[in-house]
Structure 1
Amino acid sequence: MFPSWTVIGLLLTDVFLLTLAGIAWRFRTKPGAKLFGLLQILSAVWVGVTVLGLSQSPGSTRLRLWGVGTGLSLLVVVFWFGFILDYTGRNQWLSSWSFGLASLPLVSGAALYFVAPAASPIVDQVTQTTTPTGTVVEATIGPIGLVLAAYVYLVFLVGLGLVAKTVIEGSNLFVGQALAFGLGSMVTTVASFLVILEIPSAGYPLTQVGLGVQAVLWGYAVFGQQFLRVVPAVATIGERAVFDDLDNGVLVVEDDTTITRANPQARAYLGDDDLVGQSADLLLERMGVSALADLPTRFQHRGRTYQATASPITNWRGESVGHALAIQDVTPLVRRQQRLQVLNRILRHNVRNNMTVSLGIAERCQHHDDTDVASMGETLAERSRDMTTICEKAVEIDRTLNDPGPTQRVDLDTLVEDVVSPLAEQHSEATVRTAIEPETVETNAQVLSLVLREAVENALEHAGTAPEVTVAASRADGELDLIVRDDGPGIPRSEVEPIIAGEETALDHASSLGLWLVSWGTQSLGSEVDIDATRTGSEVTVSIPTGENRQETPDSGAITSNQSDVGT
């Protein structure tokens, strides 16, 4: 006898399900792939048992196969939910007691169907009927069966909700996959509901037929949407790993100040493993503030200093739902700042004052009758002046860059003239020209003046006995280029390269510190410096973002160099 079209469709469904299982095995290292493959195999077994049952005559064997098939359908739901958890990056739930508890009703129901398919708590009445499709079993659901059916639909709703949540919070990359999984699952869910309503007829295996449609849609996810190659679980697991492995402590605080999540570093910093569930008010009190709005702040705990900041967390509608509280151990930074403050005071007062005394003694030695003493006095005076200049530059760096002040509108030509004119007077042997068109720019005038003065001073120092220096300006792509040109051999490479690399180096004279000042100043302005030097001259270009294009850049390589064997 030729099998019915339903049986043929079910056999094709089995082939497709096993094909998907084989593909899943190839990608078994991907999150969700193993459970996806096991789900397809279990579904294929369920469909195979259904086909075998349809071929049987009415009797105990047919009833037993129906019980096995129905039990397998409940286990399919368990594996489906496990796959959804793994697929969405919630694989930690699979090994928790909560997943076992959620699966217990379905596993227990499956066991009952396996052992006693016609037991009265599950079904009230069972009838076997021979139809053109085969021998079907009509069952009137009992009390436990109704509870199981309702629970199955609840599990499907939760699973589909997790998929939707993952896509909404993630990337559009997974929308196609999510739609395929969602529609496929809905097909089998609706089909199972129609079976309860005895549509199209009592006992017809519509749910198993729906598995065929589901397999096609899931095949589209595999072949058309890169499922098993790219899954949202990787992003979810990565975000969780980043959160847990951050060097800073992070807490998630609800709007009602309840702490709902804390990473290991936060628990270590605060010495409390039970932060989750506590009120953040107690924590804020320890920090010395009364509300999250009072942050950022620094506080002491167990002899260390911490910086606490808060950032709002909003939902997809832009509404506040809580805050992320970040805690950073700034003890090394605070101690370093204290050391620098002490050293700065020493440099500002003690060293500079002592150099003034040394310079006075050296100048007296220069007028000594003994030529050797006079020569040593001249050398000492020169070194004392260099050291005094370094001290003055260090003080100026500290004063200007630590408190640069706000940006403002400045007349560029006036700023350049105010910087260049005193330098030209100090170097009467030099020819200093400016080529600046009158224009107004928004920048930090104090820092820009400092950077420009150092660039011009370096040009005057390295450009020979009668240097020619030109200061020009040009605009391009929202940036202002200030260009300092000279006709000398250029700044020695030995002074430029350490600053390009961002490495500390010995300061043999004030120009080295001046280059550091240029580097730090341009970073503060959000700009870059390019040094282009050949044997016929050098060119220092300071590219300054203006207005809305300005932002401070912490990059240590603010200076770049194009040198051709100069200054060696």
Structure 2
Amino acid sequence: MNLDLPWLALGSFASGLGSLYLLAQLRAHWDKPGARWFVATIVTQTVWCFAYGAALLVFDPTVRLALEMVTWLGIIWIGFCFLSFALGYTGRTNVLESWWYRAVAVVPLAGTALVVTNPLHTAVWQGFRVVPAAGSAGAEYAVLPAGLLTIIVAMLFVSFGTLLVFDTVVSYGPLYRREALAVGLSPIPPGAAVLLWAGGVGPVPAVNLTTLLFLPHVALDLYAFVRSDMFEFHPATRRAGERAAIHDIATPVAIVDKQGRVVNLNPAAEEMFAVDKHEALTEPMNGFLAGDTIETDGGGSRVSTETGGRRREYKVRQTALRDESGTQLGYTIVFQDITDEIRRERRLEVLNRFLRHNVRNESVVIQARAELLASELDGEQADHAATIERSVTRLVESGEKARTLAEAGTGDAAPEPVVLADLAAEVVAAAREEHGGEVAVEIPDDLRLTTQSALLEILLANLVENALQHVPDAAVTVSAAVDGDDVVLTVSDNGPGVPEHELGVLERGRETDLNHGSGIGLWLVRWTATTLEGDLDFDTSDGTTATVRLPRERTAAEAA
């Protein structure tokens, strides 16, 4: 045994030590996607480096051959481990866990069997002999076609894995541009060395320089995976998110090309169309619809499908698909099931017509007859008639408010400039005429805001009306002031305050059988405030003070 420790052996040992250091640095990340396969890759690399470093010091043919076999096993397994790491790291666990990829493991297993049994059949190499080379124990032998094929397959595994990591990490943008370059370059020095050695090319053909060139490989990996935390922000997160955003959601999503032909369907879309994705690929999307068509122009529409005798209605939204250069490739089409929504709308339309016409008309008849009876009767009977009249009057007023709510719709009207003092003066004048009482307006004449004036009028009118209706000899004050980007509108009165149970209903946003409000006026206030993107607050410590904080400027997009 040569104990001079030549530089080739020292270089191999240095690469092995560097690999161990890389393993130690990555210990905290061993539970990350692909990390265990990366550890397996570095362990294989470490064993290879130490085994070959020892081989360069051994001139005994039997021991030298055994150590040479270990380096061959390193070549065989490092490619498979690195490719497995690349699949896991980039989020392709479905491939990594597939049966056919597990079948790929037969390739390195077969190579291992060939190498270990080579003395029996000499199918991988032949003519092995130990020769002095550059002060080390070199080895000369002829690598046969089976051996060359084994090496080429291993290097293809490494190359494909490198491309996966490089492409996926680069897609993160400038965040990991330099690190991705390091990952892409790191396998080149040892990979080139393996191929040159297998081809008998190099300054010292009897010596494999691969382990020496693992040093730059380790340095580049340390830069990419340790210094820049590439295991902290790994591509698997985004790939899983992309899969969940389309594949796992319950909303049907289809991807079509510019001609409207199906490129991909998520499972929800397959169920919606009652078709297998593979059968639908390249077929026109419109062929799966019940007589409707989708114009691939990026616009929205409504379509119908009929599956199992059941018809469903969908709202369609399209988003243009573009590559990084901005070239349009097709559209992502999202289908929102609005069947139940349409049915509710139709039921509400019927109910609304019934309430607005039948109930209102009958209530007016009852109100008129009760008023007539109250004027003609005396004593207790007159009181009963008056009570009926007041109750029906409240019912009619509630119906009018419901009508106001229905006619206001969803508040899609475009925002417009509003002089708040003028609007408040109109609302107060109408309220005084109907309910009486004193209302003071303390709003600067120049206070303007851009909002949906019809909703703001409903909001203010119901706040003022609520105070005048429920407070005898009411003294109501309407005021407003600018606070930053908001307008703070306040309506206060000197009454006993809104009952806690009614405020509780508003805070919960729903009514129950045992806990309900006395009318819909406060509901109108809450709904309009929310639609106008305002904050509503009630203070009942001294009378009732309703405070609404509204944005001073609303755009059309915000209103929609």
TM-score (norm 2): 0.85
- 3-state SS of paired residue (1:324): strand
**Cα distance per residue 1:178-201 (max 9 Å; x no partner):** 455334333433444554574453
Residues 1:421 and 1:174: Cα distance change in structure 2 (over 3 Å): same
Give, in whole Å, the separation in 2 of the partners of 1:422 and 1:482: 19
Contact 1:525/1:551, CA 8 A, preserved across alignment: no
Amino acid at match of 2:89: Y
Distance 1:391 1:117 in 2: 99
Return the offset for 1:15. Answer: 4.0
CA distance in 2, matches of 1:435, 1:471: 5
How many Å separate the matches in 2 of 1:117 and 1:344? 92
Paired residues for 1:247-258 under 5 Å: 247-255=250-258, 257-258=260-261
Structure 1 residues 507 and 174: alpha-carbon distance in aligned structure 2, compared to 1, 3 A threshold: farther
Q: Aligned equivalents of 1:185 and 1:394: distance in 2?
A: 73
Q: C-alpha displacement at 1:344, in angstroms?
A: 1.2
Task: Tell me the residue number matched to 1:245.
Answer: 248
Secondary structure in 2 aligned to 1:252?
Answer: strand
Deviations 1:404-423 (A, max 9, x none): 42223344443333323212
Are 2:293 and 1:289 aligned?
Answer: yes
* Displacement after TM superposition at 1:122 (Å): 6.1
Per-residue deviation at 1:163?
Answer: 2.0
2:83 paired with 1:76:
no
Alignment correspondent of 2:328: 320
Alpha-carbon distance in structure 2 between the residues aligned to 1:166 and 1:371: 90
Q: Please, which of 232, 235, 238 is the counterpart of residue 232 of structure 1?
A: 235
Point out where structure 1 has 5 or more consecutive residues left out of the alignment. Answer: 554-568
- Alignment partners' CA distance in 1, 2:464 and 2:559: 23
Structure 2 letter corresponding to 1:309: R
Partner of 2:163: 161
CA spacing shift, 1:84–1:369, aligned 2, 3 Å = same
> CA separation of 1:499/1:100 partners in 2, compared to 1, >3 Å: closer, same or farther?
same
- Structure 1 window deviating more from structure 2 (301-310 vs 92-101): it is 92-101
Which 10-residue stretch deviates more, 106-115 or 491-500? 106-115
CA distance in 2, matches of 1:135, 1:127: 10
- Letter paired with 2:57: S
Greater displacement, 403-412 / 494-503: 403-412
User: In the alignment, what sits opposite 2:391?
Assistant: 383
Q: 1:543, CA displacement in angstroms?
A: 1.2
Q: Which residues in structure 2 correspond to 1:273-312 (within 5 Å)?
A: 273-275=276-278, 278-283=281-286, 286-287=289-290, 288-293=292-297, 295-302=300-307, 303-307=310-314, 308-312=316-320
Q: Is the 8 A contact 1:412 1:440 kept in 2?
A: yes
**Cα distance in structure 2, aligned partners of 1:440 and 1:48:** 80
RMSD: 3.5
Gaps of 5+ in 2: none
1:359 positional shift: 1.3
Task: State the shift of 1:86 in Å.
Answer: 0.2
Q: What is the one-letter code of the residue matched to 2:274?
A: G
- Picking from 42, 45, 53, the partner of 1:43 is 45
Separation in structure 2 between the aligned mates of residue 322 and residue 120 of structure 1, nearest angstrom: 56
- For 1:560, the equivalent position in structure 2 comes to none
Matched, 1:452 2:460: yes
3-state SS in 2 of match to 1:272: coil
How far apart are the structure 2 equivalents of 1:105 and 1:509?
Answer: 73
Distance 1:145 1:467, change over 3 A: same
**Is 1:218 the counterpart of 2:221 in the alignment?**
yes
Amino acid at match of 1:532: D
Is 2:542 the counterpart of 1:538?
no
Matched, 1:492 2:504: no
Describe the shift of the 1:426–1:434 C-alpha distance in structure 2 as closer, same or farther (beyond 3 A).
farther
Letter of the 2:101 partner, please give it. F
CA distance in 1, matches of 2:93, 2:128: 39
1:138–1:262 distance in 2 versus 1, CA, 3 Å: farther
Tell me the secondary structure at the aligned position of residue 186 of structure 2: helix
- Pairwise mapping of residues 332-481 of structure 1 onto structure 2 (< 5 A)? 332-402=340-410, 404-438=412-446, 440-477=448-485, 479-481=486-488
Q: Distance in 2 between matches of 1:203 and 1:418?
A: 101
- Residue pair 2:414, 2:559 contacting (<8 A) in 1 also: no
1:201 corresponding residue in structure 2: 204
2:210 match: secondary structure: helix
Report the residue type matching 2:401 in the other structure.
K
Q: How far apart are the structure 1 equivalents of 2:115 and 2:285? A: 54
Cα pair 1:419 1:453 within 8 Å, conserved: yes
Q: Deviations over 1:425-461 (max 9, x none)?
A: 3343213324233355432222222222122222333
1:3 aligns with 2:5: yes
Shift of 1:89: 0.4
Displacement, 1:464?
Answer: 4.3
Deviates more, 1:245-254 or 1:191-200: 191-200
Shift in alpha-carbon separation, 1:313–1:511, aligned structure 2, 3 A: farther
Partner of 2:97: 95
Look up the match of 1:14. Answer: 16
Work out the number of aligned pairs and report it.
552
- TM superposition shift of 1:424: 2.9
Residues 318 and 331 in structure 2, CA contact (< 8 A), matched pair in contact too: yes
SS at match of 2:331: strand
Partner residue, 1:57 = 59
In the TM superposition, residue 114 of structure 1 has moved relative to its aligned partner by 4.2
1:34 is displaced (CA, Å) by 1.8
In 2, Cα distance between the equivalents of 1:150 and 1:265?
43
Q: Tell me how far apart the structure 2 counterparts of residues 4 and 527 of structure 1 sit (CA, whole Å).
A: 80
Over 3 Å counting, the alpha-carbon distance change for 1:513 and 1:548 in structure 2 is same
The answer to whether the Cα contact below 8 Å between 1:252 and 1:325 also exists between their aligned partners in 2 is yes
1:85-124 deviation per Cα after TM superposition (whole angstroms, max 9, x unaligned): 0001001111335535766666655554444489998679
Structure 1, 6-15 or 346-355: larger mean CA deviation: 6-15
C-alpha distance in structure 2 between counterparts of 1:377 and 1:10, whole Å: 108
Match of 1:524 among 520, 527, 531: 531
SS in 2 for 1:206: coil
What is the alpha-carbon distance in structure 2 between the residues aligned to residue 267 and residue 256 of structure 1? 20
In 2, Cα distance between equivalents of 1:535 and 1:301: 60
